[in-house]
């Protein structure tokens, strides 16, 4: 699904930034957001803006290769967004959060994160029962987006996950439009908080 205009996409991105910031998922300029536009370009956050204080000026356009179309500097992680759009033509929005629970979980997990037995798993596209097993890949962090993209590439083949974690960094989620991508991030963040709480209760029990 594609947003109708840059302005519509930019306003939706501004609103997501405020919502994520209020929840502690976008501290200290972290996070980035993008939306596919109908002309084949993408609306993406400008690098370095505080995402809770975005205005339309903090959102810009890039082409499919990540080149700036308006002279602004796109998110340092634009390549990760574009890679998802290239792989999945049905994806219309990509969101990236930096919550304490997702980052903590990514640092304690030795392998991928398997979600089982959660009613909220049904918030993910295509999941219809709490009995579904949802695997969220965990890849190593790097300052080179090519490394992260290479690490996640094989994990996106076949039945793709709804989201992935970058260790010690944050969470990427996507959807057909920004509302679906926000729902995926919201569900994954809630499940990460639940997982962290559950692990700490089991340790103390
Ligand atoms: C301020 S630490 C976070 C950044 O290094 C990065 O991971 C991030 O999410 C935001 O980068 P940005 O270039 O503003 O999109
Ligand atoms: Zn980040």
Question: Is the CB of residue 184 less than 8 Å from the CB of residue 123?
Answer: yes
pLDDT at position 14 is: 98
21 falls within a domain: yes
Residue 50 domain boundaries: 6-204
Owner of token pair 């963040």: 189
In a domain, 63, yes or no: yes
- Find, among 48, 49, 21, 16, the residue nearest to 33 by Cα: 16
Q: Is 1 contained in some domain?
A: no
Predicted ipTM of the assembly: 0.98
Which backbone phi and psi does 15 adopt, to 5 degrees?
-65, -40
98 known member of a binding site: yes
C-beta separation of 54 from 22 below 8 A: no
158: left (phi over 0), alpha (psi -120 to 50) or beta: left
Question: What residue owns the CA closest to ligand 1's atom 6?
Answer: 30
pTM metric for this prediction: 0.97
What pLDDT score does 3 carry?
Answer: 61
pLDDT of residue 2: 65
Give the pLDDT score at 53.
98
Q: Within a domain: residue 86?
A: yes
Task: Kindly report the backbone phi and psi dihedral angles of residue 60, in degrees, each rounded to the nearest multiple of 5, phi listed first.
Answer: -140, 180
Please say whether the dihedral angle defined by the alpha carbons of residues 110, 174, 133 and 160, taken in this order, is positive or negative: negative
96 is in an annotated binding site: yes
7 Cα: distance to centroid of ligand 2 (angstroms): 24
Residue 113 is predicted with a pLDDT of 98
For ligand 1, atom 5, the nearest C-alpha belongs to 30
* Residue to substitute in 16, 30, 47, 48 for testing ligand 1 pocket (most ligand atoms within 8 angstroms of CB): 30
Backbone angles phi, psi at 97, to 5 degrees: -115, 160
- Asked, for residue 34, whether it belongs to a domain, the answer is yes
* CA–CA dist 145, 143 (Å, integer): 6
Domain count of the chain?
1
Report the pLDDT value the prediction gives residue 1, as an integer from 0 to 100. Answer: 63
Q: How far is the CA of 189 from the centre of ligand 2 (A)?
A: 15
Ligand 1: lining residues by beta carbon, under 6 Å? 28-32, 45, 47-48, 75-77, 96, 98
Cα separation of 128 and 119, whole Å? 9
The whole-number pLDDT of residue 125 equals 96
**Ligand showing the shortest atom-to-Cα distance for residue 48:** 1
Q: Whose CA is nearest to atom 10 of ligand 1?
A: 30
CATH number for the domain that contains residue 119: 3.40.225.10
Residue whose Cα lies nearest atom 8 of ligand 1: it is 30
Cα 28-68-33 angle, rounded to 5 deg: 40
pLDDT by 10s per residue, the chain, length 205: 666 799 999 999 999 999 999 999 999 999 999 999 999 999 999 999 999 999 999 999 999 999 999 999 999 999 999 999 999 999 999 999 999 999 999 999 999 999 999 999 999 999 999 999 999 999 999 999 999 999 999 999 988 999 999 999 999 999 999 999 999 999 999 999 999 999 999 987 6
Q: What is the pLDDT of residue 159?
A: 84
Say what the pLDDT of residue 23 is: 98
CA–CA gap between residue 79 and residue 100 (Å, rounded): 24
| Atom of ligand 1 lying closest to residue 78 CA | 15
Compute the distance from residue 165 Cα to the ligand 2 centre, in Å: 10
- The pLDDT score that the predictor gives to residue 158 is 85
Would you call 138 helix, strand, or coil by DSSP?
strand
């Amino acid at each position: 699904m594609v947003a109708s205009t840059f302005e519509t996409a930019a306003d939706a991105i501004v609103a997501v930034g405020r919502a994520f910031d209020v929840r502690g998922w976008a501290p200290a300029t972290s996070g980035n957001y993008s939306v596919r536009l109908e002309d084949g370009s993408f609306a993406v956050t400008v690098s370095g803006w505080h995402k809770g204080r975005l205005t339309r000026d903090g959102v810009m356009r890039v082409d499919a290769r990540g080149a700036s179309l308006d002279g602004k500097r796109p998110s340092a992680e634009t390549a990760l967004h574009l890679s998802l759009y290239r792989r999945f033509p049905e994806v219309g929005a990509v969101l990236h959060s930096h919550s304490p629970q997702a980052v903590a979980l990514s640092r304690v997990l030795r392998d991928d994160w398997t979600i089982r037995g959660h009613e909220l798993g049904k918030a993910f596209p295509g999941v219809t029962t709490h009995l579904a097993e949802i695997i969220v890949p965990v890849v190593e962090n790097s300052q080179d987006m090519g490394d992260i993209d290479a690490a996640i590439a094989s994990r996106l083949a076949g039945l793709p996950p709804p989201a992935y974690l970058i260790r010690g960094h944050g969470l990427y989620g996507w959807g057909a439009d920004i509302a679906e991508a926000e729902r995926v991030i919201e569900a994954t963040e809630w499940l990460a908080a639940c997982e962290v709480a559950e692990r700490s209760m089991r340790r103390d029990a």
